[in-house]
């Protein structure tokens, strides 16, 4: 008579693999907490209460609750993209994030929608970045703020598309005007398809392979192909056919009150995943313009 929803098996497998490979270890900044089971399918087997990322160097305005697999990806994004971007555009180190995480709810709090990745500790919403001098760059104000704020936020947004399977920001839909949403949702059986919205004409200056020692890791087992029902349409955007004119969006012309930093050679594929997950040469990275988290 009763039907009980269950979390997809790959989620528990991902958590267990992440822990067994010691990709996240309890520390003063990472506290392994008790299992969260419900209501419904919400929760995770091994939640971490996180007070800071990257071994304590990037704090949080308030603690977040995350499952193991997404934590090393966030660390890599912060170390290889966000920290260098803060120095490039402001000359000030990154200090803190204003972010939110676990929440048992449907996507965008819309009744009847699929569960958000937030319901499984597999997503982070970033509302703002605090610098070491006390300055705060918020998404809601900075996206169309000063030239330095605009370019910094676009740099970290485009950079996030290398590390996460879903990245949503202002312009993607009505729900993400004030934050960047990043997650590790699976949009296809192999976990290779990605959503990165909005599509920006922004030429990134930071190549993670140059900004920091490349994120060295063999393809973790929790990214292995699985058998699941595909729920995202195939049609969408492809990095193989970028928008003409590069990657820049709604920015003032060069020289409009903000001295541009020396341009680095842009990566061959703007929306490429990190090294251990990059497609083979000649194989396009499929992006889709559909789906909201």
129 is a domain residue: yes
Q: What is the pLDDT of residue 105?
A: 82
Number of domains in the chain: 1
Is residue 238 assigned to a domain? yes
Mean pLDDT by 10 residues, the chain (293 residues): 69 94 95 91 94 97 95 96 96 96 79 82 97 97 97 97 95 93 90 90 85 39 30 30 28 33 33 32 34 40
- Rounded to whole angstroms, the Cα distance separating 275 from 116 reads 27
Q: Give the pLDDT score at 129.
A: 98
Q: Could you tell me if residue 3 is inside a domain?
A: no
Does residue 4 form part of some domain?
no
* Report field, pTM of the whole predicted structure over 0.75: no
Q: Determine, yes or no, domain membership for 187.
A: yes
In a domain, 98, yes or no: yes
What pLDDT, on a 0 to 100 scale, did the predictor assign at position 211?
60
Asked whether residue 175 is assigned to any structural domain, the reply reads: yes
pLDDT at 214: 34
Instruction: Give 60-65 contacts, CB < 8 A, sequence gap 24+.
Output: 60/96, 60/97, 60/98, 60/99, 61/96, 61/97, 61/98, 61/99, 61/130, 64/99, 64/100, 64/101, 64/102, 64/124, 65/33, 65/36, 65/101, 65/102, 65/121
The parent domain of residue 116 ranges over: 9-288
Q: What is the pLDDT of residue 232?
A: 31
Say what the pLDDT of residue 70 is.
Answer: 97
Does any domain span residue 293?
no
């Amino acid at each position: 008579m009763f039907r009980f929803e269950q979390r997809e098996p790959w989620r528990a497998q991902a958590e267990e693999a992440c822990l067994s490979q010691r990709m996240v270890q309890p520390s003063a900044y990472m506290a392994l907490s008790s299992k969260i089971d419900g209501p419904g399918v919400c929760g995770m087997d091994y939640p971490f209460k996180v007070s800071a990322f990257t071994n304590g160097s990037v704090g949080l305005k308030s603690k977040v609750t995350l499952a193991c697999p997404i934590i090393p990806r966030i660390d890599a994004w912060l170390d290889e993209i966000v920290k260098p971007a803060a120095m490039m555009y402001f000359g000030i180190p990154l200090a803190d994030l204003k972010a939110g995480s676990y929440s048992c709810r449907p996507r965008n709090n819309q009744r009847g929608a699929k569960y958000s990745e937030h319901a499984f500790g597999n997503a982070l919403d970033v509302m703002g970045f605090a610098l070491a001098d006390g300055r705060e760059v918020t998404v809601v104000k900075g996206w169309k703020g000063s030239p330095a704020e605009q370019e910094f936020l676009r740099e970290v947004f485009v950079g996030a598309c290398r590390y996460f399977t879903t990245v949503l920001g202002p312009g993607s839909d009505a729900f993400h005007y004030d934050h960047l949403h990043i997650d590790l949702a699976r949009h296809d059986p192999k976990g290779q398809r990605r959503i990165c919205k909005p599509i920006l004409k922004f030429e990134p200056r930071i190549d993670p392979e140059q900004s920091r020692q490349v994120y060295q890791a063999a393809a973790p087992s929790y990214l292995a192909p699985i058998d699941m029902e595909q729920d995202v349409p195939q049609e969408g955007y492809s990095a193989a056919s970028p928008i003409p004119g590069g990657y820049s969006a709604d920015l003032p012309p060069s020289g409009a009150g903000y001295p541009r930093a020396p341009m680095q050679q842009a990566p061959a594929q703007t929306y490429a995943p990190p090294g251990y997950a990059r497609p083979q040469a000649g194989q396009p990275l499929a992006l889709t313009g559909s789906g909201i988290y």
